Structure 1
Amino acid sequence: MQNHLKQKLQLYTAADFIEQRWKNGRGSTLELAKGSDYAPADVHSWRFSIATLSENGSYSNFAGYQRTQVMLEGDTVQLDFAGAKKIQLHKLTQASFRGDQAVSCSLATTRTATMLNLMTASNYLQHRLEVVSHCGPLVDLSSKVDLLFVYALQEGLTVQVAGHCVRMKSGQLLKIDRVTQSKISLSVSAGKLPDTALAIIIKLFRDH
């Protein structure tokens, strides 16, 4: 892989993940990656983590951040926004909300739920998430997208970036700089299983 392209790609694997206690002390989360892109060095402008929900409870306060959760595994989880509204999450559905909102969760069954969490600092970055179920080129990668992430949902996912291939395992995260985003496609080496998702595509962008 050419050096200039290698500098635009970063693959986060299990060796990079760090387990951390929740701010409210009621559990722990697996931090996948975080960074300070487009923000001061002491500010985390983005952060990915995996949380396992095993009981009902309240979410921690992350004022100044926008949050999105995607359910990876589990039965129905209901998010209650202090009685103002309620959102039910099912597998591979998502909910977005401000980090300072009062949110509590209720599990429909005793089965634990696994959530992919993304937080971006509202003063520096915004984000959008999309679950992708098809192989081929990624579309709608406009010049306004500053950073692109791919979270693999299947073993053997291959991300082709500007003619170079990055092989991923399920649960790994790939960061791609916007310079290379116009030539990105997905494939699965062993063949895609029917009715299954390939990856979660995350777009981070500044207010231009």
Structure 2
Amino acid sequence: MHPFDVETLTAGRWRNGGGATREIVSWPVGAEGFAWRASVADIDRDGPFSAFPGVDRTLTLLAGDGVRLTSPGAFDRLLDQVGEPFGFSGDLALSAELPGGACRVLNLMVRRGSRTARVERVTGTVTPAAGHAGVLYVLRGRWRAGADGRLMTGGQGVWWDADDEAPGRAVAPLSPDAAALWADVAPAR
């Protein structure tokens, strides 16, 4: 498992100036195109989102009052509950509105036909399936990850690839208030 702390990840500004992205992982690492990618985005103002043709996306609110995502003729959705994922096609023209000011989201993207993804809020032990990749992002509380027993708190987490060894990959809560997001990335069938 590969640890991360969002606050130590390099933030890259969006081309339209509406936010910044902190990349957790883009797999395969160093490749021109990704099979799957996880990042944390700070959305600073209303505006368009970039399209990602051939990609399925899942956004999950991490902090702030929320973001309204609109794609004409497809959906108009207010994400205002921390930890509630929303999946949509990256092919769609999309705009964001911030009814309560800036917010932070987890953005998971998978190349359609190559991978599928499921994001859920968890409060109990997570053991990734062999052959699956993914990310565990701590929302609150204390967690322990992997065979080395790495301790994590809010804004920290781990990611793994399908080729990482399965033994010892369980991630477990250590406090009664523990909550996390688990993004399971599976090979497409």
In structure 2, the residue matched to 1:6 is: none
In structure 2, the residue matched to 1:105 is: 96
Provide structure 1 residue ranges, at least 5 long, that are not aligned to the other structure. Answer: 1-8
Q: What is the rounded CA distance, in whole Å, between the counterparts of 1:24 and 1:67 in structure 2?
A: 19
CA-atom RMSD in angstroms:
2.6
In structure 2, the residue matched to 1:138 is: 126
TM-score of the pair, normalised by structure 1: 0.76
Q: Conserved in 1, the CA contact under 8 Å of 2:61 and 2:79? A: yes
- From 23, 26, 37, give the equivalent of 1:34: 26
In structure 2, the residue matched to 1:59 is: 49
- From 11, 28, 33, give the equivalent of 1:19: 11
Matched, 1:118 2:108: yes
Relative to structure 1, is the Cα distance of residues 156 and 133 closer, same or farther in structure 2, using a 3 angstrom cutoff?
closer
> Percent identity, aligned pairs only?
25
Q: What is the rounded CA distance, in whole Å, between the counterparts of 1:185 and 1:18 in structure 2?
A: 25
Q: Conserved in 1, the CA contact under 8 Å of 2:10 and 2:22? A: yes
Q: Conserved in 1, the CA contact under 8 Å of 2:57 and 2:110? A: yes
Deviation at 1:14, TM superposition (A): 4.8
Larger relative strand fraction: 2
Q: Conserved in 1, the CA contact under 8 Å of 2:6 and 2:22? A: no
Relative to structure 1, is the Cα distance of residues 15 and 59 closer, same or farther in structure 2, using a 3 angstrom cutoff?
closer
Amino acid in the other structure paired with 2:185:
L
Q: What is the rounded CA distance, in whole Å, between the counterparts of 1:86 and 1:174 in structure 2?
A: 32
- From 75, 85, 95, give the equivalent of 2:86: 95
Runs of 4+ in 1 over 6 A off after TM superposition: none
Q: What is the rounded CA distance, in whole Å, between the counterparts of 1:156 and 1:21 in structure 2?
A: 30
Task: Name the count of aligned residue pairs.
Answer: 186
Structure of higher CA gyration radius: 1
Amino acid in the other structure paired with 2:126:
L
> Deviations along 1:135-180, whole A, 9 cap, x unmatched?
xx336x555x521321122353212x3x541212321231235541
The within-5 A match list for 1:129-168 is: 129-134=119-124, 137-138=125-126, 141-143=128-130, 145-154=131-140, 156-159=142-145, 161=146, 164-168=148-152
In structure 1, the residue matched to 2:181 is: 200
In structure 2, the residue matched to 1:170 is: 154
Relative to structure 1, is the Cα distance of residues 74 and 14 closer, same or farther in structure 2, using a 3 angstrom cutoff?
closer
Deviation at 1:185, TM superposition (A): 4.0
Relative to structure 1, is the Cα distance of residues 97 and 23 closer, same or farther in structure 2, using a 3 angstrom cutoff?
farther
Provide structure 2 residue ranges, at least 5 long, that are not aligned to the other structure. Answer: none
